[in-house]
Amino acid sequence: TVDAQALQAFLDRLTADIHARHDWGEVANYIPELAKVDPAQFAVSIALADGRLLHAGASARRFSIQSVSKVFTLACVLGRHGEQIWTRVGREPSGTRFDSILLLEQEKGRPRNPFINAGALVTTDALLTGRAPREALSEVLAFLREAAEEDDIHIDPAVALSEERTGFRNIALANYLKSFDNLQNAPELTLGTYFHQCAIEMTTDQLARAGRIIAQLPGVSPLLTAEKARRLNALMMTCGHYDGSGDFAFRVGLPGKSGVGGGILVIAPGVASIAVWSPGLNLYGNSHMGTYAAEQIAKFTGWSVF
Ligand code: DON
């Protein structure tokens, strides 16, 4: 068990330390709406097994969760279609950038994993099949709201539109997937759903609370079975940071899923759900100070899956 008071004092010191460093990284510039965000921001929230929620910094500020949404979409798809999804998408780290198209030709349109963009387009496509985009998005939002036990979680339409206008790589990926018959819907429909799912905005408080089901903390909603949670954690550990996944595992030692909005959900299974946010990114497109914070928290608490 962790001394919550000591951990809170540590989070306050960490927040001050991060602001003093002035080493924020670069905000994502390929989505105009995200390029506007001030990089000099940091937030952390930690949901503990005893129900407490600790936080420091801008933990009530909403940010674009972007690829962190991919964990929750996959959770919905596993609930809806079970193991069938693995015929269409793999479970191996790609070692390539999150938006890479390189392996897709070599591997005949079956993306390496559900967290790179190509793989997430496939899971979103599976979630969409048989209904309208609005319904598929409602399912993801309902899942997040139930997990976080809070209704005030929404999509930022300006971010979705911004990405729709500039998402040429995703448009290419979706069309390429379609050429291999690995999209069931029209590419525009799958893309529209995907861009809106990525444009969900949350605070670190909300994200840490939503992550409790992946951490399988006591008393949380039974939305996920223990087996599914274990698998999501395995994928987060091996693929959650794209070609930076090995580095994240090495530095933090916990499963994590990043988003290009600067958020990271980090899971200490059975112990805590941690959300960090800082919009400046590192070379891999993952939050620069968010990764640093996760590393410092793991060091302070001793939380590790190893
Ligand atoms: O599809 C994209 O490029 C963005 N909506 C999401 C990418 C992302 O978050 C990568 N993460 N670090």
**Ordered structural domains, the chain, with CATH:** 4-64+202-301 (3.40.710.10), 67-198 (3.40.710.10)
Catalytic: 45? no
Largest CA distance in the chain: 55
The mean pLDDT of 107-127, rounded to a whole number, is 98
pLDDT (mean) for 261-277: 98
Find out whether 249 and 234 touch, Cβ atoms under 8 Å.
no
pLDDT at 1: 72
Beta-carbon contacts of residue 65 (< 8 Å; ≥ 6 apart):
198, 200, 201, 202, 207, 259, 261, 263
Active site residue 176: no
pLDDT at 79 over 80: yes
| Percent helix / strand / coil, the chain, rounded to 5 | 55, 10, 35
How does residue 269 score in pLDDT terms, banded at 50, 70 and 90? very high
Quote the crossing angle between the two packed helices 168-179 and 187-198, to the nearest 10°. Answer: 140
Q: Rounded mean pLDDT of the chain?
A: 97
Tokens standing for residue 71: 């964990």
Predicted local confidence at residue 182, as pLDDT: 98
Only one residue has tokens 């039974």, namely 222
Residue 67 a catalytic site member: yes
Point out the catalytic residue in the list 68, 122, 260, 271: 260
Please, how many CA atoms are within 13 Å of residue 80, restricted to the half-sphere of its CB?
20
Task: List the strands of the sheet with 53-57, edge to edge.
Answer: 53-57, 43-48, 272-277, 263-268, 256-258
Phi, psi of 2 (to 5 degrees): -105, 145
Percentage, residues of the chain above pLDDT 90: 98
Q: Is 162 in the pocket of ligand 1 (CB under 6 A)?
A: no
Residues in contact with 174: Cβ distance below 8 Å, sequence separation at least 6, in sequence order: 121, 183, 187, 190, 191, 194
Write the pLDDT tens digit of every residue in 172-209: 999 999 999 999 999 999 999 999 999 999 999 999 99
> Is 36 considered catalytic here?
no
Is residue 197 lining ligand 1, measured as CB closer than 6 Å?
A: no
- Average pLDDT of the residues in 54-66: 98
Question: Residue 2: what pLDDT?
Answer: 86
157 pLDDT more than 80: yes
| pLDDT tens digits, one per residue of 24-51 | 999 999 999 999 999 999 999 999 999 9
Mean pLDDT within 75-89:
95
The C-alpha R_g of the chain, in whole angstroms, comes to 18
Q: How sure is the predictor about 122, in pLDDT bands with cuts at 50, 70 and 90?
A: very high
- Interval 239-263 mean pLDDT: 98
β-sheet bridge partners, residue 26:
281
| Pocket flag, ligand 1, residue 98 (CB < 6 Å) | yes
